[in-house]
Amino acid sequence: MTEALRAFFEYNFLIILFIYGQVFFVLGLAIALQSWRHSRLTLARNLNWLAAFGFTHGIHEWGDVFIPIQAQYLPVPFIDLLLTAQLLVLALSFACLFQFGVESLRPLPGPSRYVRYLPTGVLTIWLLWMFGWAFNAAANMEAWHQLGSILARYSMGFPGGLLAAYGLRRQARTAIVPLKLNHIAAMLRLAGLALLGYAIFGGLLVPAGDFFPANRLNEEALQAWTLLPVQVYRSFFGLLLMIAILRALEVFRVELDRRIGGMEESQLLLAERERIGRELHDGTLQTIYAAGLLLRTAERSIVQANDEGGLAQLRQSVDLLDQAVADIRGHIGQLRPQPTGQSLAAGLQELATTSPLRSLAEIDLRLSLPAEVSLTPAQVGHLLAIANEAMSNIARHAQATRVVLSSSVGEGMLCLQIEDNGHGLPADFVLGYGLNNMRDRSRMLGGDIRLHSTPGKGTTVRVEIPVENRGGEVHETHTSTVGG
């Protein structure tokens, strides 16, 4: 039975080597193809090194398959060159594994942060040694190649595997468990065990050498004891590592799903907050302003009647309204458009007839809008809100007696203009919430808003937005509403 098992592995050794190389190459390929670069997890920043280890280590093992085949018909110097390249690839793969282990320990405090350069330093020393004293002292190319493999495994493969195993388990404990992803944490711990096994069978069990411990603890001794070549153990731990890592990479999909879900939830909350803010600003505030105007009109009547008690109560009511306005304005957030089912012309006509301003000034409505002009409900909503805000400002601040509200379309642009004959804006005027709101709305529509004011002669607000005009009859409206 023993001889049959030994013969089986001897006859199928090339297949074992090919599978060994394929396991690690697929590991590197699978990691490289994952979309994890968006991740905020520390693990994501380190996976490049593990992918590089998989690629290079797989290529090295395939060298054990193809180089003996090439040796049957290629000259010896060329085969020596291939063996040298294979040895360099082996050292590079272990350096990548070592670097992955070091990176998985970050952040490192204080002077320990320089540990991240340790793999590069060890690889440099290995190169200088192998292509210096060892190259000159080696009896032949085979002995030099074997020594290089032993030293690479001892100096980089073994410590790199141990550090990587510890680093993965540390990542599972500190980064994944707090996210309550226990199955992914279990996969990372399993990957850590696989790397620990590989550190032993790939970094500690080396080709037989003439120095300790390579002369006692080596690949040949393992096969003599267990009948299985060391490549079988390495393939097993490599396969286990690949499966565990691929399962653990699900953490990036879960993380992305959670971030998208959080963004959607934030958008919904923001939209609801903006809707409430818009309703307060465009509805409740305007009603309060109208009530305030009516109370001030009543105040003048009470003053004329010389009713001191009623006047005090009235002024107290006005103060409370002013305080309510200040409170509401303090809680209004950024605004977004709300759909409306009416046309712009109908909305402007309704605004002209229902605005509190009509009790104070004459409103001249001049509309020249093609029947087929294409406006979305959101565009209509924005434009009506801009007009409403402008007329509310006139009522509160301008002391105007006449307002011209006009709209027209020409050269692919719709123009909405609100002009008053009030006292204009002061020289030290600063944009407030209302005018900023108007400006933001016009920008949302892809347009522009211009404010022109002359002290003592009034203010003009002009909004222009791009529109699609498919032709058709132009409907003109010209009405005037005289305030009472």
pLDDT in tens, 437-474: 788 788 878 888 998 888 888 999 999 998 876 555 55
* pLDDT score of 177 more than 50: yes
- pTM to 2 decimal places: 0.58
pLDDT at 83: 93
pLDDT at 336: 44
Which residue in 198, 141, 201 sits closest to 168, CA to CA? Answer: 198
- Average pLDDT over the chain reads 81
How does residue 192 score in pLDDT terms, banded at 50, 70 and 90?
Answer: very high
Task: Choose between 172 and 263: higher pLDDT.
Answer: 172
In this prediction, residues 84-93 reach a mean pLDDT of 96
Residue where the block lists tokens 């909004």: 463
How does residue 60 score in pLDDT terms, banded at 50, 70 and 90?
Answer: very high
pLDDT at 131: 93
pLDDT at 221: 93
In this prediction, residues 3-8 reach a mean pLDDT of 75
pLDDT at 340: 47
* pLDDT score of 335 more than 60: no
pLDDT in tens, 107-132: 776 677 788 899 999 999 999 999 99
In this prediction, residues 353-359 reach a mean pLDDT of 70
In this prediction, residues 54-71 reach a mean pLDDT of 92
Task: Choose between 331 and 79: higher pLDDT.
Answer: 79
pLDDT at 337: 43
pLDDT at 4: 75
* pLDDT score of 276 more than 80: no
pLDDT at 484: 43
pLDDT at 284: 66
- Residue ranges of domains in the chain: 2-248, 259-336, 339-484
The fold adopted by the segment(s) 2-248 is Rhopdopsin 7-helix transmembrane proteins (1.20.1070)
Task: Choose between 374 and 148: higher pLDDT.
Answer: 148
Q: Which amino acid is at 129?
A: W
* pLDDT score of 258 more than 80: no
pLDDT at 277: 65
In this prediction, residues 350-376 reach a mean pLDDT of 78
Q: Which amino acid is at 443?
A: R
List of long-range contacts for 78-87, beta carbons under 8 Å, 24+ apart: 80/141, 83/141, 83/145, 84/145, 86/60, 86/145, 87/130, 87/145, 87/148, 87/149, 87/152
pLDDT at 10: 76
pLDDT at 80: 92
In this prediction, residues 89-113 reach a mean pLDDT of 87
Q: Which CATH architecture has domain 339-484?
A: 2-Layer Sandwich (3.30)
Q: To the nearest whole percent, how much of the chain has pLDDT over 90?
A: 34
pLDDT in tens, 375-420: 888 788 889 888 888 887 887 777 888 899 999 888 888 999 999 9
Task: Choose between 290 and 477: higher pLDDT.
Answer: 290
pLDDT in tens, 129-155: 999 999 888 888 889 999 999 999 999
* pLDDT score of 241 more than 50: yes
pLDDT at 455: 83
Whether residue 337 contacts residue 321, with contact meaning beta carbons closer than 8 Å, is answered with: no
